[in-house]
Amino acid sequence: MTSQVHFIRATGSDPAEVLAAKAKRVYLATGLNERIAEGDFAALKIHFGEAGNTGYIKPQWLTGLIWEVRQRTKHAFLTDSNTLYVGNRSNSIDHLRLAWSHGFTPETTGLPVIIADGLIGRDKQEPKSAQARTASSKIASAILDADAYICLTHVTGHVQTGLGAAIKNTGMGCASRAGKLDQHSVTHPRVNAKQCRNCSVCMSFCPEAAIVQAEGHVVIDPARCIGCGECLVVCKFGAIKMKWDEDSLRLQEKMAEYAHRVATHFQGKAVYVNFLIQVTKDCDCMAKNQKGITEDIGILACLDPVAVDQATADLLVAGGGGQDPLRAGYDIDWSGQLAHGEKIGLGRRTYSLVEIA
């Protein structure tokens, strides 16, 4: 058995209305829209982009797709959950202001924005099912109160998982703060004292005050560290290290298990739309403009999150002439999330690519 992944070529230099038409066509090709019933709450899960980030999916690219969803139900909404790290998306008020500042307003999209885990990230539900890494998932309430799920993902590399695509947007992106902590808690970075310049930048970013001053350098208190990885990204001197293989694999497997419980809730009323436009080394949590690591490729859509992410990775490698542009950024084997996703029944890695002209 294979899953059909629908694909349309597109670039960021296409006019916004052209991109909106392409996103709509590839979404409609999956057949998901016809499964949405009148009155359904339809959650359009997206990352609104950190302040200063430019890679996020632009609201104007979604107008066609949203119009189609709204023909099926008046109860559609854009949504994301609050972050673990300290920033502009760690509570719902700052998060909403940021979404508006990036154009996600009712005037532009026709949809309200609802931050799915409440004011400060505590609103959650906890579906249980025995899995290898987790016994339950702490998922943002508004996601699991919805009837249909439309996962809109700007594909990126990632400092801890290597690939940030549909599985990550669902597994990590739909988790409440406690759920994010649960997934990250296997990962504890360490500081290389010889490389540390004692600039203290990492200390100001750490959400748990886990980085403390030592003699001429900083150290991480493992009892406080939640493994969010913020310090890895902000240290300009490469002084903070992770045990990539072991830690990343466990994180990816937890993420796939979280994604599986979200997908199970929607029972076929879920679709995954991946945008391979300005694919960047780091995710949209980075508060800066980042160049693409490949040429723009297009938009993929599928009912199967594993298949759409496998197709995404294959297209990226093909676009890199056989070299993996994700691993050029962070040398992390990102395939663990796909392998584990397939093993637990989240989806299939075998797929057929159906290109839309």
Contact residues for ligand SF4, defined by CB under 6 A = 189, 191, 196-202, 205-208, 210-211, 218, 220, 225-231, 235, 237, 239-240
Q: Which is nearer to ligand SF4, 67 or 237 (CB)?
A: 237
Residue 252 Cβ vs ligand SF4, minimum distance, rounded to whole Å: 17
Rounded Cα distance, 92 and 131, in Å: 31
Structure tokens at 234: 């902000």
Closest to 152 measured CA to CA, from 265, 19, 254: 19
Residue 236 Cβ vs ligand SF4, minimum distance, rounded to whole Å: 7
Contact 197, 239 (CB under 8 A): yes
Q: E strands along 186-280, which residues?
A: 190-191, 211-213, 218-220, 240-241, 270-280
Q: Which is nearer to ligand SF4, 157 or 229 (CB)?
A: 229
Residue 204 Cβ vs ligand SF4, minimum distance, rounded to whole Å: 9
Cβ-Cβ contacts under 8 Å for 19 (sequence gap 6 or more): 10, 58, 60, 61, 277, 299
Rounded Cα distance, 213 and 232, in Å: 17
Residue 134 Cβ vs ligand SF4, minimum distance, rounded to whole Å: 20
The structure tokens 């080394």 sit at 281
Q: Which is nearer to ligand SF4, 29 or 220 (CB)?
A: 220
Rounded Cα distance, 162 and 331, in Å: 7
Structure tokens at 106: 């009712």
Residue 14 Cβ vs ligand SF4, minimum distance, rounded to whole Å: 37
SS3 at position 312: helix
Q: Which is nearer to ligand SF4, 111 or 181 (CB)?
A: 181
The structure tokens 């879920």 sit at 270
Residue 335 Cβ vs ligand SF4, minimum distance, rounded to whole Å: 23
- Rounded to the nearest 5 percent, the helix, strand and coil shares of the chain are 35, 20, 45
Q: Which is nearer to ligand SF4, 330 or 351 (CB)?
A: 330
Q: Which is nearer to ligand SF4, 180 or 265 (CB)?
A: 180
Rounded Cα distance, 348 and 174, in Å: 21
Residue 274 Cβ vs ligand SF4, minimum distance, rounded to whole Å: 27
Cβ-Cβ contacts under 8 Å for 39 (sequence gap 6 or more): 73, 74, 75
Strand partners, 157: 163
Q: Which is nearer to ligand SF4, 286 or 299 (CB)?
A: 286
Contact 65, 23 (CB under 8 A): yes
Contact 27, 271 (CB under 8 A): yes
Q: Which is nearer to ligand SF4, 199 or 356 (CB)?
A: 199
Rounded Cα distance, 174 and 150, in Å: 12
Q: Which is nearer to ligand SF4, 174 or 196 (CB)?
A: 196
Residue 193 Cβ vs ligand SF4, minimum distance, rounded to whole Å: 9
Residue 164 Cβ vs ligand SF4, minimum distance, rounded to whole Å: 17
